Amino acid sequence: MDITVLFLAIMGTIGLVFAYLAVTERALVKAIIYSAVQSMAFAVMLYLLRAPDIVLVYIPVSVGLYPAALFFLVGKTESEEGEP
Amino acid sequence: MNNELLNNVLLTYVFYVLVATIGISLYGVIFKPHLTKKIISITIFSDSINLLAIFIGYKLYSIPPELKGMSNINEVLNRTVDPLPQALVLTAIVIGLAVTLFLIFISLQLFRLHGTLDLRKIKELRE
Amino acid sequence: MNRDLNKKLIVITSIVVFSFILAVYTNLTESLGPLGLDTRFLGKLYVYFTNHEDPRVSTASLEPVTAIVWDFRGLDTLYETTVFAMAIIAIYSLFRIDRLEEKGSLNSSFTIIPMLVTKILLPINIAIASTIAFHGSISPGGGFQAGSILAVIGVLFVVIFSYYALNAKSINPHRTLLFMSLGLIAIVLVSLIPLAFDVFFDYAYLIQNQPKLDSDFGYPKTVGGLVFGGSIGLFNIFEFIAVSFGFLTAFALLSIPEYIFKEKLRGEESLEQ
């Protein structure tokens, strides 16, 4: 068994779990942090898939710029989701 | 051969996990009424679609597409991954980032005009 | 209530069935790469022609992904830069604001540790980003990567020191938009210089990188003994400037306090009534 494929499967499962947690979370600050953890798992998967150019774009954009802009938005507007 | 079967099963499992993430983020975009939750789900959706595109170009026991330090080009040609999806995904990430930034600014302006970001309440306010 | 639940059930079932059909179809018909197939022929062609010995068919870089993005498919990247710049200009015109006169100092309400760490990280980040932009033709790197890395330190500065402190150093959205426009003008000039060559001298193509079979114009392949990449190196440098200043504009606009915009909206509403 190749060790790359084993780590791909582990990181894929972590990404799926945190994506589900991010979508069904009512407090928006926690949802943004869950989405950032899911992006970190995806960044490790991108490195294992032998794509170094994409990793250099993906890490600052998806762990740095998206959560920063979303935190600005949550700070200026509401920070709790309403009733379903 | 046990080795090859296990590799194939794990790769198929990774593929199904990616498609499941696409499904979860689509559920989040369609069914959650708060605009910030929709924007979070759109970022997860575009990330997983880009990862699926690069996953299609992967090959077992391969090397990344680099020519520096490789003296024999035939070895690179036989063992490299596909470089074309990586170039297309590079473009797609930047375009997705620009459009999502614009979405965030538009929702900020919506909050200033209506006082709330819940789409059902905005629909009631406008009637 | 019953109709709402039925609608949700239908949409969720169709999403699940669509995902299942997509997974099974691309898996079973062997169009997926990992299940034992060879690399596609087009990918092999691009890798083969990146650094060929014949200088009339090769790009000047050692990296196939950078060569595809800036030379083999250069028009796609030019259009993508246009889309990015249009999004920044739309953001800038949505938040119409005059030049704010209030200036602050570089002391913030945080303790000394965040301020000092941010000030130390600034030259480190600029050095790393410039390195990644300049060696885009040799190793994995390029313009977008460097621009995103520089944008992160810009966000950190905006969060730790407020908008008014940056305004004292005249880093306001109007100034950064000017620098982004200069970077975009430089990109257009690099792709239009072969046109000037074509008018005054011999035959040349638009967005040409290296000499081709029937034209002699070519950007320099090595500069000072280092592989530079012809027009790819110039594109990387100017794209780095344009992308980083574009992100700085967006985040500088996002950090203006809310009461300024509320006063503007109240002023406009009282004018309407």
Amino acid C31: pLDDT:
47
Predicted local distance difference test score (pLDDT) of residue C27: 57
- Measured between beta carbons, which residues in chain C are less than 8 angstroms from residue A20? none
Which chain A residue lies closest to C144 (C-alpha atoms)?
A57
| Token pair of A46 as six digits | 């991108």
Nearest to B67 among C62, C95, C265 (CB): C62
Q: In this predicted model, what pLDDT tens digit does every residue of B38-79 receive, in sequence order? A: 999 999 999 999 999 898 888 888 889 888 877 888 888 888
Q: For residue B86, what pLDDT is reported?
A: 93
A53 CB near a chain C CB, below 8 Å?
yes
Cβ <8 Å between A57 and C66? no
In tens digits, what is the pLDDT along chain C, a chain of 273 residues?
A: 677 778 878 887 887 788 777 766 665 544 454 555 666 788 888 999 888 888 888 888 888 999 999 999 999 999 999 999 999 999 999 888 877 777 777 777 788 898 899 999 999 999 999 999 998 888 899 999 999 999 999 999 888 888 888 888 888 888 999 999 999 999 999 989 988 888 888 888 888 888 888 888 888 888 888 888 888 999 999 999 999 999 999 999 998 888 888 888 888 777 777
Looking at the structure, do residues C32 and C113 belong to the same domain, yes or no?
Answer: no
Interface probe with A: pick from C5, C155, C260, most Cβ of A within 10 Å: C155
Name the CATH code of domain B2-125 (choices 1.10.287.3510, 1.20.1630.10, 3.40.50.720, 3.50.50.60).
1.10.287.3510
Query: What value of ipTM does the predicted structure carry?
Result: 0.94
In 3D space, the residue among C179, B11, C130, C232 whose CA is nearest the CA of residue A49 turns out to be B11
The pLDDT of residue B15: 85
Nearest-CA distance A83 → chain B (Å) = 10
Flag whether C48 is in a domain. no
Tens digit of each residue's pLDDT (9 = 90 or more) over B76-108: 888 888 899 999 999 999 999 999 999 999 999
Whether residue B28 is predicted with pLDDT greater than 60 in this model: the reply is yes
**Are C10 and C83 members of one domain?**
no
Residue A84 lies in a domain: no
Q: How many domains does chain C have?
A: 2
- For residue C18, give its domain range: 1-37
CA distance B39 to B24: 14
Task: Give whole-number Cα distances, A22 to B43, C141, C193, in Å.
Answer: 11, 31, 49
A17 → chain B, closest CA residue:
B21
User: How much is the average pLDDT of A1-20?
Assistant: 92
- Spatial distance between the Cα atoms of C241 and C230, rounded to a whole number of angstroms: 18
Asked whether the beta carbons of residue C66 and residue A53 sit closer than 8 angstroms, the reply is yes
* C88 and C160 together in one domain: yes
**pLDDT given for residue C271 in this prediction:** 78
Chain B residues inside the 8 Å CB shell of C63? 65-68
**A38 inside domain:** yes
Q: How many domains does chain A have?
A: 1
Instruction: Check CB contact under 8 Å for C141 and A72.
Output: no
In a domain, C51, yes or no: no
Domain positions in chain B are 2-125
Is position C67 within any domain? no
A83 falls within a domain: no
Return the pLDDT at B113. Answer: 87
In a domain, A82, yes or no: no
Same domain membership, residue C17 and residue C99: no
Give the pLDDT score at B51: 94
User: Is the distance from CB of A21 to CB of B26 less than 8 angstroms?
Assistant: no
Supply the pLDDT for residue C29: 45
pLDDT at position B2: 64
Please tell me whether residues C15 and C88 are part of one structural domain: no
CA distance C142 to C145: 6
In chain C, residues with a C-beta closer than 8 Å to the C-beta of B8 are 35-36
Same domain, C5 and C121: no
Contact C63 B68 (CB under 8 A): yes
> Do C19 and C118 fall within a single domain?
no
Cβ–Cβ contact B5 with C under 8 A:
no
